[in-house]
Amino acid sequence: MKGLLTEDVIVARIEQKCDIKRDPTYDHQYKLDFIVDRFKSIAKLIPIGVQITTRLNDVPKQRVFLLERRKKTLVDRSIYVEVHPDVDINNWGAELIYNALVSFTFKNSLKKIDVSGVRINADITYDFFSLEDSIRQTHSAIHGKIFKYFPERKYGFIETKDKGQWYFNNDGITDSNLIENFLPNIQLNSDNNRLVRAIFVDFDDAGYESNDKSVPKAINIKLAKGKE
């Protein structure tokens, strides 16, 4: 059972216990399949955004979800649910997903986490996991372009194809050619510090710095090979 069919069955099973909001635009625009507005037995609840997938350890999909959900569009808290193909959605599987949603909402150790992943396992268990750690452990570089730079303060911003943005400073650059030859010779628009010609790079996601939750930080930045 895959894709929309899985989502439909899950919603049909759990909407008896919680109020669910669905819209065809959610997945395309916000990377959410549905929103749990509240659990029916509890009067107050901050809405939770939910993405369901049967594609396990799909790092590109995890990354796209994380980038969008960091923006907190529609809802402040979101969960990425990976369902093992052997999970019986028609019976205990949907109940297990419901229990995971309740835990994400009310468990003390999770209440301050805005975005999380959870794996629904075939052995009738579930495990929460960090999307940031899952993405980082693959050692798969992110591709983007340096589009803005402040040479006096030695920091700038990288943008990816899907419009995600990362902050960086020169300490995060590991390519001597980039720092010695490219950045010193860039041309900038004087009014907004945008590069006249962007520099394509590969980098790793270091997550958010403790003092700034607006834009994640890029590290291990290198010139992208074969890109213009």
Q: Provide the residue count of the chain.
A: 228
Least confident of 151-155, 164-168, 207-211: 207-211
Yes or no: say if 98 and 106 are a contact pair by the CB < 8 Å rule: no
* Phi (first) and psi of residue 43, to 5 degrees: -70, -40
pLDDT at residue 3, as a whole number? 52
Q: Any idea of the CA torsion for 20, 57, 144, 51, to the nearest 10 degrees?
A: 0
pLDDT at residue 221, as a whole number? 95
pLDDT at residue 77, as a whole number? 96
Summarize the confidence of residues 124-142 as an average pLDDT. 86
Least confident of 22-26, 45-49, 116-120, 155-159: 45-49
Q: How far apart are CA 183 and CA 190, in angstroms?
A: 16
> End-to-end CA distance of the chain, in Å?
41
Summarize the confidence of residues 118-133 as an average pLDDT. 95
Query: What angle (nearest 5°) sits at the alpha carbon of residue 184, between those of residues 179 and 189?
Result: 120
Count CA atoms closer than 13 A to 202's CA, side-chain side.
10
Q: Which of 76, 65, 6 is nearest to 30 (CA)?
A: 65
- For a pLDDT cut of 90, what percent of the chain falls above it? 68
Q: Is the pLDDT of residue 2 over 60?
A: no
pLDDT band, residue 13 (cuts 50/70/90):
very high
CATH superfamily of 141-223: Nucleic acid-binding proteins (2.40.50.140)
Q: Which residue has the tokens 């003390």?
A: 108
Q: How far apart are CA 12 and CA 34, in angstroms?
A: 12
Average pLDDT along the chain? 90
The per-residue pLDDT for range 176-192, each reduced to its tens digit, is 999 999 999 999 998 89
pLDDT at residue 95, as a whole number? 95
CA 68 to chain centre: 6
Summarize the confidence of residues 107-133 as an average pLDDT. 94
Q: Which residue has the tokens 């009014």?
A: 191
Domain boundaries, the chain: 3-136, 141-223
Least confident of 21-30, 55-64, 102-111, 209-218: 209-218
Q: Which of 34, 26, 29 is nearest to 6 (CA)?
A: 34
